Every structure is written in C-alpha cells, then in structure tokens.
Chain A
Amino acid sequence: MKAAWAVYCKEIVDALRDRRTLMVVLVSSVLLGPLVLIVLSGLLAQFETQAEKRVVVVSGIDHAPSLKNYFERQTYTVRTAPKDHEDLLRRSKLSEPVLVVPEGFEDALLHGDRPVLELVSDSGNRQAEVGAGRVRRLVEGFARERGALALALRGVAAEVLEPVEVVGRDLASQQSRAAQLTAMLPFFVLMAVLYGALNAALDTTAGERERGSLEPLVMTPVPRAALVAGKWVAVASVSTLIAVLSCLSFLPAQWLLQSDTLQATFQFGWLEAGLFIVTLVPLAFALSALLMALAIRCRTFKEAQAASSVLLLTVSMLPLVTLFNQEGEAPWHLWVPALAQQTVMSRVLKGEAVPPDMMAIPLAVCVLLSVAGVMSVARSLRGAAVR
C-alpha cells in the first residue's frame, strides 16, 4: 500500500512536469470545446437574425410602386440595391438576394403583360440562398394578391384559383436546433477524458520500457499489483483532472454565447457539471486501464501510439451511433462504454431525469473493464520488463 502510494506520487509528479504535453492536451481538449460552442453560437445567432430580418433588397423599386406598397404592407423594409450587387453577391459580400425590377414594370402589370422580375442570388453564397426563398415567397404572395383581386373584380371567388390549401407545420422548434448544437458537448468531454489519459498511460508503460526503467522497477520487492495500481490510479487521476477542467470550462463559456435561443436552452450549471463528472470518472478509470493494457505490450512509445489509435478511434466514433441511428436511445447503448456516457450526458443536457440503472450499468461495465485491464497489465509487467 505504501509502495503503491509512492508509485502514485511519482507518476503524478512526472505527468505534471511534462508541461508541453499537458499544455497541448489542455488547449486541444479543454479549450477547444467551449471555443467551438461559442463560434457555433455566433453562427446560429446570425441565422436567427437573418430569419427575423424583414428586409428586401431591390434594384429599380421606383419602377414598381404597387410592389413597394405590398412590401411595406407586409412590414418589410425596402432597401435599394448597390450598383455592383452582382459582384458583391459573387464575393459573398452581400448577404441578401437582389430583386431586379425592369423598367416599365408597372405599365406591363396594368396591361397584364406578365412582366419578369429577376431574383439575383448566388448558390455559393449560403446566406443569400437562405434569403432567396423568403423573397420568392414574398413576390409570389404579391402575384397571388394581384390575381385574386383581378378575379374578385370579375366576381370569381379566390378559392377557384386555389382549390387546395397547404399549410406547413414544422415540428422542429428553434430549441431543437439548439439542442443539435449542444449535442456535441458530451463528445468534447469524452475526448478530454481520452486525451488526458493517453499520454500518461503510454508514458507509464511503453515509455518505461523504451527508457529501460521498467526492468529496475520490477526488480524492486514491490508486489506487481501495487506497482500497477499506483500507476493506474495516477493515470486515471490525470485523466479525471482534464475531464473536470473540460466540464468546468463550459460554465464560463455559456456566458459568451451570442445566440439567445442557445443561451435559453443550454442549461449547464454546477449540477450538470457535477453529473457529467460523476458519469465520466468511471470511464476515466476504465479507459486508463485499457490504454495501459494495450501499451504495455508495445516496446516503444511510438508503437504504443499506433496501437492506441484504434482505441481512440473507436471511442470517438461510438457516440456517432446516436447520430446515425435514428431510433433514439436503445437499451444496449448503456452497455457500451463511451456510448453509455454519451447517452447519460445528453439526457442530463436535455434536463431529463437519469434513473439509477442508467448510472449503474455503465459503472458496472467500467469496473469490469478496469479489473480486466489492470490484471492484464500486472500479468505482462515482468515479461515486458525484459526486452
């Protein structure tokens, strides 16, 4: 026990002194999540203002007073298009499509000559494309009104022209769109756990072999179980530390969110952070044990990195199951590490209750994996020491 504690202290000091690696991990897994969240919230905010903006950019509005009148009745602001609007649109400098009204539009309209309106946009300019649909519907509304009026003057009911009415009802609210964004959050914390454990796990196993310090270590009279336990708990502690920092980094990040809806739906307080950490700690221990079990079989750090990339890839791909699988939560998700934590964390984010068995099953799986990993490391430690 005393020996295990000595090993633990040494490994922690060793890991914390590896400043450069630690900085890279901190930047990539602790800062990246909040940064992405803030950038995306900015994007979302932009889309929101775009949707709410009641502006139509028209070139030659003076040729069409009736159209102008219709726009204004729809509470739209009419703006005159700049002269070089085509060029601006092409270079994505103008984020609104431009409606071009030809000369003599009003006369042609009065004579029933079907004047042509041009809606100029660029399919490479996403924001203008989004606006194009809106402007097209607006102009169609104008055309419909003119037609209906003309028919009404001749005593024909408007319903004749439109025997069927279609009303759209979009179930996706803005909240659910925001939820799609926050769904990435568990992914970032999972990565933090993984990358936090990675370097320490490889350094205490394959790194020791490469340095030639494992052989003297197993020649001390310390039981192998104590050696492995000390190393394992140290690796898991580093991983947990990174995970905790990553979880807490989302707390200040949410004050910087620009999108109101995201801010309203993104409930991430101390309670959520605590639940995240409780979910992640067992995973940190299990992944540390697995990484160490993989790495102890490798002669060099580099070899171990190659071997662990398979595990890294698996763990980062598993949460994607929930993206591709449209059936939603399935009971088996809870039995798969990483996927289970993702499921629990997204429940926490949505503000849904987490029943005890949802916590217990992943915990049991993690305990099993840890035991298997630690035993495997202890078994192969002596063989690995002799190169």
Chain B
Amino acid sequence: MIVVEHLAKQFAPPRRWLRPARSPVHAVVDVSFTAPDGHILGLLGPNGAGKTTSLRMLAGLIDPDAGRLSVDGVDVVSRPRDTMARMGVLSDARGLYPRLTARENIVYYGLLQGLPRDRAEARATDLARMLDLTALLDRRTEGFSQGERMKTALARALVHDPAHIVLDEPTNGLDVMATRALREALRHLATPAGGRKCIIFSTHIMQEVERLCDSVTIVSRGRTVATGTVASLLEATHQKDFEEAFVTLAFNETRRA
C-alpha cells in the first residue's frame, strides 16, 4: 500500500551572478494518490506534469517540500532505507554497467538489496525467463538495444521481489511484443498468484492505462486533477473516448488555474 498526500516540491533556479534571481520552478504543487496491494495504478500526465519528480520523491531520492509519502505505513522521509527496501523502482535514469553482463548487473543489485549471492543468481534466472531475457543473460550489456536495456533494468529493479513496484515510463523504447509481455507480467504480479504486488507506473500513453490499470490518477502542471477508474473518468467527462476525457481533464483544469 502506497499513500501519497498533497505532495509539493519546488526547485530553486541556478544562482546567477549580479543578475536578479529567477523565480523557482514549481515542479509539483499538489499531488495525491493511493495504491492498495494487488492494484495497478497509472499515473497519467503530459510531459513535464511532475510525474518523474513525484516518483523520485517516493523513491527517497529528493525530499518533498510538503506532503506525506508512506509505504505500508512507513514514512518515506523519516525512514528512507526501510521504504527503499520495500520498493522496486525503475526510474527515469536506467543506466546499466556496459562492461558487466546482464546477469552481473542484476545480481549486483540483488547483493545491494541484501540477498545472498545464490538467491540473487536464482532471481536473475527467474526474472530473465519472465521478461524473455534468457538468451541475453550472459552477454555484456554494451551492445544491447533500447528494449533489451529496458528489460535488464526492469529485472534489476525487481530482483529483491519487492511488494511495491514503481515504474517510470516503463514502455519507453519497447516494441509491441515486449510491451505486451511487460503488460502480462505486471498483470500477473498484481494477482494473488503473482504476490498481490502494489504497482504504480507513470506514462503519457492512453492505451497503456486503458488496457492495464485498475485506476488512474491524472496529473497536470504539478497537480492531481482527477482520480478514478477509466470508466468513471469517462462518465464524469461525458466522453466516449478516453483520450478526449484525458485532454478535457488535464488541460481544462490548467486553463481554469
């Protein structure tokens, strides 16, 4: 269970010499969302809406200016190590070590998450099977394609079998088949058989949300503008097409503001 309430963050602009300081950038103004266990929450928003910043705060990478973040009731700001261990985060930056093999990349993170080596190796093999990565597992990641890198990074984020999975635009660079496979895998992870994981993922692609998410939170200009299932959002906006509903929700709000 991940609960985020009234999150806010502004970034100070770089200081300039002998010139008036620019006003700070309000990356996140008021974002709230809740994702129970066994639930897939989509964080939908246009570019620059504050999705990545919100997820970085959830991952404990930057401290929020205001608001509350908790994972299973544990506060992220005061006990970041505990919450980090409970989450598998695939962040915006997903660099691999080019001179290590895919397996070594994954096992390294397993060790850092505190797994014993044999357990980490076994997890790497399992995840590779799930993500269709087995053939590449013992090759150096140097020459990997975008999608192959993505899968390796995803396996790395999931190596410690976390109860909470946070993915920042995970389908970037994946082809249709890989996207489908990833969707299947996520759906499976949310079921009781897959461990009833709590999954949050951010995206700007409508179809992703329509096909996968149990509920959607729409973020625009740093604010949560709507929350609900796809059906309820369609109903609320009197639209048949989800894209139209999204545009109405995301951009009318900003015009009003």
Instruction: Give the Cβ gap from B142 to chain A, nearest Cβ, in Å.
Output: 10
Cβ-based interface call for B156 (8 A): yes
Query: Which residue of the partner chain B has the closest CB to A220?
Result: B112
Q: How far is the CA of A253 from the CA of B163 in the complex (A)?
A: 61
Cβ-based interface call for B130 (8 A): no
With contacts A13-B100, A213-B93 known, is A219 near B59, CB below 8 A? yes
The 5 A-B residue pairs whose C-beta atoms are closest, nearest first, are: A212-B95, A212-B93, A213-B95, A211-B95, A6-B111
Instruction: Give the Cβ gap from A385 to chain B, nearest Cβ, in Å.
Output: 6
Which residues from B are CB-within-8-Å of A17? 99-100
Instruction: Give the Cβ gap from A71 to chain B, nearest Cβ, in Å.
Output: 70
Query: Which residue of the partner chain A has the closest CB to B62?
Result: A386
Q: How far is the CA of A191 from the CA of B85 in the complex (A)?
A: 42
Q: How far is the CA of A385 from the CA of B94 in the complex (A)?
A: 12
Cβ-based interface call for B89 (8 A): yes
Q: Are B97 and A3 in contact (CB-based, < 8 A)?
A: no
Q: Within residues 110 to 136 of chain B, which ones have a CB less than 8 A from any CB in chain A?
A: 111-114
Q: Are B99 and A215 in contact (CB-based, < 8 A)?
A: no
Cβ-based interface call for A14 (8 A): yes
Cβ-based interface call for A114 (8 A): no
Which residues from B are CB-within-8-Å of A6? 108, 111-112
Contact with B157, one of A208, A216, A218, A222 (Cβ below 8 angstroms):
A216
Q: Are A10 and B108 in contact (CB-based, < 8 A)?
A: yes
Cβ-based interface call for A103 (8 A): no
Which residues from B are CB-within-8-Å of A18? 99
Write the residues of chain A forming the contact surface with B, with a CB cutoff of 8 angstroms: 2-3, 6-7, 10, 13-14, 17-18, 208, 211-223, 382, 385-387
Which residues from A are CB-within-8-Å of B153? 216
30 contacts between A and B (CB under 8 A): A3-B112, A6-B108, A6-B111, A10-B97, A10-B100, A10-B108, A13-B100, A13-B104, A14-B99, A17-B99, A17-B100, A18-B99, A208-B95, A211-B97, A213-B93, A213-B95, A213-B97, A215-B93, A216-B91, A216-B94, A216-B157, A219-B59, A219-B61, A219-B89, A221-B81, A221-B84, A385-B61, A386-B56, A386-B61, A387-B93
Write the residues of chain B forming the contact surface with A, with a CB cutoff of 8 angstroms: 56, 59-62, 81-82, 84-85, 89, 91-100, 104, 108-109, 111-114, 153, 156-157
Q: How far is the CA of A255 from the CA of B215 in the complex (A)?
A: 78
Which residues from A are CB-within-8-Å of B61? 215, 218-219, 382, 385-386
Q: How far is the CA of A218 from the CA of B93 in the complex (A)?
A: 12
Which residues from A are CB-within-8-Å of B113? 220-221
Instruction: Give the Cβ gap from A217 to chain B, nearest Cβ, in Å.
Output: 8
Query: Which residue of the partner chain B has the closest CB to A383?
Result: B62
Which residues from B are CB-within-8-Å of A2? 111, 114
Instruction: Give the Cβ gap from A84 to chain B, nearest Cβ, in Å.
Output: 61
Q: Beyond A10-B100, A382-B61: 19 further Cβ-contacts under 8 Å?
A: A3-B112, A6-B111, A7-B112, A13-B104, A14-B100, A211-B95, A212-B95, A213-B95, A216-B89, A216-B93, A216-B109, A216-B153, A218-B61, A221-B113, A223-B81, A385-B61, A385-B93, A386-B56, A386-B62
